[in-house]
Structure 1
C-alpha cells in the first residue's frame, strides 16, 4: 500500500468539527451518510450540529480539556465557522490532521491580511485603506469615498460594516466601531455578485463548483442562482483562475469560498473569502452530484476529489427568522411549508434552531428544475408564499 493510500482516513473513523452551527450540521449529515462517526465542539447545548452528532463536546473553542477531548475522539478535524480561533486549530494540529490549517484560517479572519493576500496573489480587490490609528484615519484619500468601513476582524453577514459618504461620516463610523482596526473599501459600480467554491486536497488537486450568482439584502445572502444568469465565460474563467490561485497560495486543504464583485465594465474584484463551506453553496446538496459538504469530508480525509457536476438548474432562497414574524402577526407563526412543498422541485432544509429571530438563518429552500426559467418561476412562487420579496 502506498503512503498516500495509507494516510487516507476511511469510513468508520470519527471526524471532528469545530463549531456547531448549520454548516457543521450539514457537514455531520454528509459525514454520517458516508459512514463516518462525528464529534462536534461547541459550547451551546442546543447547537444544530451538536444535536445530530455522535458526540458533542460542550466547551468554548479555547478550552484545553475540550480540545483534548476532541483530539482523542477524532481522527481528523475541520471547522465550520471562520471565527473559530486559529490558535485552537493550531493546538489540535499538534496531534491530528486539521483542514483547513490555523494559518489559512487566520488570513481569512482578518480583512487587512485578506486584502494583502489577494494583492500578493495578483488578484484584484477594491481600492482600500487600513485604519487602526487616528493618523491613518486622517491620511485616508478622498478617492476612497464613498466607501464601506469594515472591522478587520469578527465581521460576517453585514455585521461590523458602515457605509460612509463623507469624511465626517467616516470619523463617526470609526468611533461607532470602537476605533478598532478597520478596512475602508471604496464603493465600486457593481453589475452583480458571484462566488466560487473550491475544494483542495492534500496533494494539491483542486476542483470547483459552477459559478454562483448571489443577491444580498442588508448584508445577508438572500438568493443564489446557478447557472449564474449574467455571467460570461470570460468572467467565469477569471473567477475560477483567481480562486485556484488563492487556494494554492494558502496551501489550503478543504473547502474554500471566494466572493467576487463583477463591475459594470466587466472586471472582477475579490471581495472576501470564507475558509469553510458557504451559504451560496447550499444548493449543491440537491442540484449537484456531490455537495460542498461531501467534498469537505473527502478533502480532510484524503479521499479522492471529483469535479462536481450540476445536474439541475436551481435557485436557493435563504430562510431568515423574519419569515416567522409576518406583518400584523402578534406572535410567532410557522411558515406554510405544506404550500411550499406542494411546488414541484422544492427541497426544504431547516437547521433545527430552537428560536426564530429576525435576521437569523433558520434554513434554506433549494428549487431545482429542468430549466433555469422553470426554477426561477417556482422559486418566485415559493417566495410569494413565504413573504420573501421578489427578485
Structure 2
C-alpha cells in the first residue's frame, strides 16, 4: 500500500493499524468500524479483546519484522493503544514509510517519567518536585530536598499503581528500592492537592485542536475508580488546563487523542502524567458527548476533521474492577446505567473488566 500524505484524509474502506490488543484497542476498532474503516490489530495475544472485534489480527511480538512489514503494507495509518509499545517497533514502521500517529517524540516522552517531567518543566508547566534515582543512595540524598514521605516510581512501564511505592524516610530507602524491583526510578515530592483532574484533548494533522471539558477523578490504590464530568471548576481553571493541553500537543507535534492527568493545588494546576493515547478518564465521553474520545482519535489519525466535544449530559463513570464485573446482569437491567464490558476472558483482582456510566442533566 502506498501511504497518503498526512494532508490526505483516509477514505472509508481503508484500514487503520493498532498496536495492542486490550480494551482501548477494542473500543478504537468499534469506533473505526462505525466510520467505515477496517482495523488491523498487532498483538502477541492470540485471543485479545481488540482482536475479536477487529477486521484482522496479526498475532506476533511487537518487534517482529515480518508482522510490522505486513501491518505497514495493509494499513493507511498505524496508531497504538498503550504507551509501552517498543520504540523500535515505531521506528521500524516509519522506516517502512508507514504513517504513525502519535509520533515517536510523544512516545519517547511518555515512556520515561524523568523525560516526561523535564519536558513539562521546559514548557513552563508545573510538576511535582522530582529527582532521578539509580539506587538507595540517591533516595537518601534527595529526600532532604523533596521531603518525606515521597513517591518512588519506576522510570518505565508502571501503570495503575504498579511499580511505585511511598518512601517514609531514609531508613526505608533500601526496602523501597527493593519494592519496585531495583529498577531505574524517579522520586517525586508529595503534592498537597485538592483533587485530581484530567483533560482529554485531540490534535489533527493540520494542527486543529479540540478538548473535552475537565474531568474530576478519584483513585484508590493508584487505580482510577470513578470519574465525574464535566468537573465543577471556574473559568480560570478550565483555561489553564486547555493551555497545558494545547502546549503539550503542539510541542510534541502530536496527532490523536491524549490524556493529561492534573493535580489541582492552591497555587494552580500541576501535571501528574501524560498518556499518548485515549484515556480511562475519558470513557464517559462514550455516552455523554456528541463525538467520543475513540471516534475523535480515529478522526485525528485518519486525517478527518475533528468532531464536537460538547457534552449533552453530565456523567459519573465507575470502573468495574475484578469481580465487580460479575454484577453485569443487575447493571444491564438498570435503565440509568450504560454498561461497557471489555471482553476479557479471565477475572483477576483489580483488573479493569469494564465500566458503567450514569448520566444526569447538565447543571
Question: Would you say the 8 A contact 1:194–1:213 is kept in 2?
Answer: yes
> How much has 1:138 moved relative to structure 2?
4.2
2:141 pairs, out of 139, 142, 147, with 139
Aligned residue for 2:70, secondary structure, equals helix
Deviations 1:97-137 (A, max 9, x none): 10001221111010000000010111000011111245533
1:166 correspondence with 2:151: no
Residue of structure 2 in register with 1:78 after alignment: 79
Aligned residue for 1:139, secondary structure, equals helix
Q: 1:5 to 1:142 in 2, by over 3 A?
A: closer
Residue of structure 1 in register with 2:29 after alignment: 28
Residue of structure 2 in register with 1:226 after alignment: 229
> How much has 1:29 moved relative to structure 2?
0.1
Residue of structure 2 in register with 1:59 after alignment: 60
> How much has 1:4 moved relative to structure 2?
7.6
Partners of 1:143 and 1:113 lie apart in 2 by 20
TM-score by length of structure 1 reads: 0.88
Question: Would you say the 8 A contact 2:136–2:177 is kept in 1?
Answer: no
Residue of structure 2 in register with 1:105 after alignment: 107
Q: What 5-or-longer segments of structure 2 have no aligned partner?
A: none
Question: Would you say the 8 A contact 2:19–2:85 is kept in 1?
Answer: yes
> How much has 1:243 moved relative to structure 2?
1.2
1:248 correspondence with 2:239: no
> How much has 1:65 moved relative to structure 2?
1.2
> How much has 1:5 moved relative to structure 2?
9.1
Partners of 1:163 and 1:106 lie apart in 2 by 26
Partners of 1:312 and 1:364 lie apart in 2 by 17
Aligned residue for 1:355, secondary structure, equals coil
Deviations 1:330-365 (A, max 9, x none): xxxx31x34323333311000000011101100010
Deviations 1:43-85 (A, max 9, x none): 1111100111110000011111111111122111000011111
Residue of structure 2 in register with 1:352 after alignment: 343
Partners of 2:6 and 2:245 lie apart in 1 by 27
Q: 1:176 to 1:98 in 2, by over 3 A?
A: same
Partners of 1:6 and 1:258 lie apart in 2 by 26
Partners of 1:299 and 1:273 lie apart in 2 by 18
Residue of structure 2 in register with 1:376 after alignment: none
1:363 pairs, out of 354, 358, 363, with 354
> How much has 1:140 moved relative to structure 2?
1.1
Residue of structure 1 in register with 2:130 after alignment: 128
Residue of structure 2 in register with 1:238 after alignment: 240
Partners of 1:6 and 1:225 lie apart in 2 by 36
1:202 correspondence with 2:193: no
Residue of structure 2 in register with 1:7 after alignment: 8
> How much has 1:193 moved relative to structure 2?
0.2
Residue of structure 1 in register with 2:304 after alignment: 303
Q: 1:6 to 1:135 in 2, by over 3 A?
A: closer
Deviations 1:17-61 (A, max 9, x none): 000000000000000000001100001111100111110000011
